Amino acid sequence: MIYVDDLIIDSDSMVEIRKLKKNLEMQFHMKDLGELKYFLGIEIIRSESGIYMLQKQYVTTMLKKYGMLGCKPIDVPLDKNCKLRVDLGAKLDDVNMYRPMVGSLIYLTIT
């Protein structure tokens, strides 16, 4: 028997796991990289209390990329009495930077 994080895997289970991996390898080009640590910008941490998924590295990378690493966090990024109007304000200098930034924020919120 093998003990993995309070989970007992007996020899029958190990045989089934090997069979599953073998079948997957026949259908897909793959290799076993061991225990998952980092995937698609998400850090995976296993502990006795559960599995935690963190995106600290992804957020840090995005802040660096968009020149906002030194920013101070605030609860509400806009004055609550501010009135927004379509016909007022300056146009963005670089709209091409805006789109990937919004895409990064969308990815961050849905993962």
Q: What is the pLDDT of residue 68?
A: 87
| Residue 24 shares a structural domain with residue 64 | no
In contact, 37 and 46? CB cutoff 8 Å: no
User: What is the sign, positive or negative, of the torsion defined by CA atoms of 81, 84, 87, 90?
Assistant: positive
Please give the tally of structural domains in the chain.
2
| Residues 81-98: tens digit of each pLDDT | 888 888 887 887 777 878
76: pLDDT confidence band, cut at 50, 70 and 90?
confident
| Residue 49 shares a structural domain with residue 99 | yes
Residues of the domain holding 27: 1-32
| Residues 2-45: tens digit of each pLDDT | 445 555 566 677 788 888 888 888 899 988 888 888 888 889 99
Rounded to whole angstroms, the maximal C-alpha distance in the chain is 70
